[in-house]
């Protein structure tokens, strides 16, 4: 595989020009979305065919961006390459869902370089379509060593300790664990900069009185894309353009969880070990420490724009007025920077016709994503999975799991059992009673 194209991207400073533009050496996801996605799945162990025409039930053909094949499993991948400000909407998901239905491909993955709207996420959730937004794609890009990675033995920077080990991360607690197979496991070390800052801006109001604005704290900057992941500490004003996208990203659940781990868990200096059980990928930072510091400075200055009130005497009366303070980048000082690696498990399982992703923060052990956790036959409130169907692989809850030899979904039990259980309204109890 070729290394990602490092295309310098310039971002205009928002407050003043004194530090010049912030340059990000980030990979050009836009152009290569389909290619990189295909490479990721190839590394995962799929055979991939791009731009594949597949027969539909009506006899016509439909084009699949990437068709994945692994044993008896076929999966369709849809790639949508959008402008940074545009999200994937429900209409895009509907079209893909219909395509899956028409072609009879049971499993679908929708990949974008941006993000998904809330209703498109809901639709995906109810139909079992796996979603990869820009952040997830980027993680996979490095996890599967397509992005720049470094030799684990050369890691000098501190890491969050690995508390959730491989056997705990990969273990399942289903009634038929043997029907689910782990086929790809990666421990990804994702780099983040911890940047301590302090702002002090002193301004005189028109009456000559001094006002001091101070702010200090630590920001975490994703070293793969230059985004601040813990921005939520009160953004004063939302300036159009640059900060728009970042405000949206602020809501990312994964960023929030990583930030919490970086706040609570003390990094250690310990060698990163390789293992024969899983692949270890250590991502090289794509953003320099200097640029991460500039990004923080710009954000702090921006965030602390404010109107300061003062009392003026007008015609003998005291009147409250305000004046605007725009902190300068030079008034933000950087009190320290540190690169810390956060380990994340990225596990892929397969069962029957189905495949599942499970991702965990390896330090706190918290779940980022678990495609196996919830029953796919439940419609609204999805219950916890107790077994998978041994024919199709669908995760099933207590109510939707039937035992007939092995564990089955309703579609795969015999006509006889279906007939027997028909009309009882309590299928699972009936079935469980018979053991």
Instruction: Enumerate the H helices of 320-370 as residue ranges.
Output: none
- Site for Zn ion (CB under 5 A): which residue of 378, 403, 418, 430? 378
Stretch near Zn ion under the rule CB under 5 A, chosen from 62-70, 157-165, 311-319, 393-401: 393-401
User: Is 69 one of the binding residues for Zn ion (CB under 5 A)?
Assistant: no
- Site of tokens 């070729």: 2
Rounded to an integer, what distance in angstroms lies between the CA atom of residue 321 and that of residue 313? 10
For residue 139, the SS3 value is: helix
The answer to the question of residue 412 lying near Zn ion (CB under 5 A) is yes
Report in angstroms the alpha-carbon separations of 116 from 32, 84, 148, 317: 19, 12, 26, 55
- Say if residues 142 and 249 touch (Cβ distance below 8 Å): no
Instruction: Give the one residue of 64, 106, 287, 389 binding Zn ion; rule: CB under 5 A.
Output: 389
β pairing state of 107-112 and 130-132: parallel
149 or 396: CB nearest Zn ion? 396
Out of 409, 413, 417, 427, the only residue in the binding site for Zn ion (CB under 5 A) is 409
The CA distances from residue 351 to 9, 67, 110, 343, 416, in Å, are 42, 18, 20, 26, 25
373 is a site residue for Zn ion (CB under 5 A): no
How many chain residues interact with Zn ion (CB under 5 A)? Answer: 12
Distance between CA atoms of 243 and 194, rounded to whole angstroms? 20
- Least Å distance, CB 375 to Zn ion, is 3
Distances (CA, A) of 350 to 184, 275, 369: 10, 22, 15
Residue 417 interacts with Zn ion (CB under 5 A): yes or no: no
H/E segment holding residue 42: helix 29-44
Q: Looking at 391, 403, 406, 430, which residue binds Zn ion (CB under 5 A)?
A: 391
Closer to Zn ion at the Cβ: 325 or 392?
392
Binding to Zn ion in span 297-316, by CB under 5 A: none
Q: Distance between CA 81 and CA 98 in Å, rounded? A: 20
- Closest to Zn ion by CB, 353 vs 357, is 353
Report, in Å, the least distance between residue 387 CB and Zn ion: 11
- Burial grade of 178 (CB within 10 A; 0-12, 13-18, 19 or more): exposed
Shortest gap between Cβ of 159 and Zn ion (angstroms)?
39
Look at residue 298 and give its three-state secondary structure: helix
Task: Give least dist CB 394 to Zn ion, A.
Answer: 5
Rule CB under 5 A: say whether 325 interacts with Zn ion: no
Span of 49-57, 182-190, 290-298, 404-412 interacting with Zn ion by CB under 5 A: 404-412
250 sits near Zn ion (criterion: CB under 5 A): no
Q: For residues 23-62, which are near Zn ion according to CB under 5 A?
A: none
Least separation in angstroms between residue 376's CB and Zn ion is 8
Smallest distance from Zn ion to CB 415, Å: 14
One residue of 392, 403, 406, 418 binding Zn ion per CB under 5 A: 392
Name which of 188, 185, 189, 187 is nearest 45 in CA terms: 185
Assess 136 for contact with Zn ion (CB under 5 A): no
Residue 408 half-sphere exposure toward CB, CA atoms < 13 A: 15
Q: Which stretch binds Zn ion (CB under 5 A): 13-21, 219-227, 242-250, 388-396?
A: 388-396
With binding defined as CB under 5 A, does residue 377 bind Zn ion? yes
Q: Report whether 112 contacts 81 (CB < 8 A).
A: yes
- Residue 111 DSSP SS3: strand
**45-53, 115-123, 303-311, 394-402 -> range binding Zn ion (CB under 5 A):** 394-402
**What's the CA gap between 85 and 186, in Å, rounded?**
31
For Zn ion, which residue of 397, 413, 417, 427 counts as binding (CB under 5 A)? 397
Query: Applying CB under 5 A, which of residues 400, 421, 428, 431 lies at the interface with Zn ion?
Result: 400
Q: Is residue 375 close enough to count as binding Zn ion by CB under 5 A? A: yes
- Minimum Å distance from CB 382 to Zn ion? 7
Q: How far is the CB of 353 from Zn ion (least distance, A)?
A: 8
Chain position carrying tokens 């991460």: 292
Classify each residue of 63-100 as buried b or exposed e, where b means 16 or more C-beta atoms within 10 Å of its C-beta: ebbbbbebeebbbbbbbbebeeeebbebebbeebbebb
**Residues at the interface with Zn ion (CB under 5 A):** 375, 377-378, 383, 389, 391-392, 397, 400, 409, 411-412
């Amino acid at each position: 595989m070729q290394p990602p194209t490092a295309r310098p991207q310039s971002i205009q400073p928002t407050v003043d020009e004194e530090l010049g533009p912030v340059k990000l050496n980030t990979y050009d996801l836009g152009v290569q979305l389909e290619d990189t996605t295909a490479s990721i799945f190839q590394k995962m162990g799929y055979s991939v065919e791009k731009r594949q025409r597949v027969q539909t039930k009506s006899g016509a053909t439909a084009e699949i961006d990437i068709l994945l094949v692994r044993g008896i499993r076929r999966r369709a991948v849809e790639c949508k390459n959008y402008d940074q400000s545009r999200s994937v909407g429900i209409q895009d998901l509907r079209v893909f869902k219909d395509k899956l239905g028409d072609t009879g491909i049971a499993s679908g993955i929708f990949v974008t370089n941006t993000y998904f709207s809330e209703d498109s996420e809901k639709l995906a959730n109810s139909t079992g379509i796996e979603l990869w937004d820009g952040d997830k794609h980027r993680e996979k890009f490095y996890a599967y060593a397509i992005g720049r990675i470094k030799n684990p033995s050369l890691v000098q920077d501190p890491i969050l300790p690995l508390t959730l080990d491989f056997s705990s991360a990969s273990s399942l607690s289903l009634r038929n664990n043997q029907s689910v197979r782990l086929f790809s496991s990666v421990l990804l070390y994702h780099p983040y900069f911890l940047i301590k800052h302090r702002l002090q801006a002193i301004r005189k109001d028109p009456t000559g009185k001094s006002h001091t604005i101070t702010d200090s704290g630590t920001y975490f900057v994703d070293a793969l894309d230059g985004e601040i992941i813990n921005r939520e500490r009160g953004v004063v004003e939302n300036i159009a353009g640059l900060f728009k996208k970042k405000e949206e990203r602020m809501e990312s659940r994964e960023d929030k969880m990583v930030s919490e781990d970086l706040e609570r868990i003390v990094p250690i200096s310990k060698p990163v070990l390789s293992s024969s059980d899983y692949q270890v990928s250590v991502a090289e930072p794509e953003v320099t420490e200097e640029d991460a510091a500039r990004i923080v400075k710009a954000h702090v200055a921006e965030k602390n724009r404010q109107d300061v009130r003062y009392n003026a005497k007008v015609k003998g009366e005291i009147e409250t007025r305000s004046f605007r303070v725009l902190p300068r980048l030079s008034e933000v000082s950087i009190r320290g920077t540190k690169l810390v690696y956060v380990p994340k498990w990225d596990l892929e399982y397969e069962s029957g016709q189905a495949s599942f992703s499970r991702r965990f923060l390896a330090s706190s052990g918290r779940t980022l994503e678990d495609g196996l956790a919830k029953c796919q036959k439940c419609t609204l409130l999805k219950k916890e999975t107790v077994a998978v169907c041994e024919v199709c692989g669908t995760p099933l809850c207590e109510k939707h799991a039937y035992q007939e030899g092995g564990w089955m979904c309703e579609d795969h039990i015999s006509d006889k059992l279906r007939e027997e259980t028909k009309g009882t309204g309590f299928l699972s109890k009936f079935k469980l009673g018979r053991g």
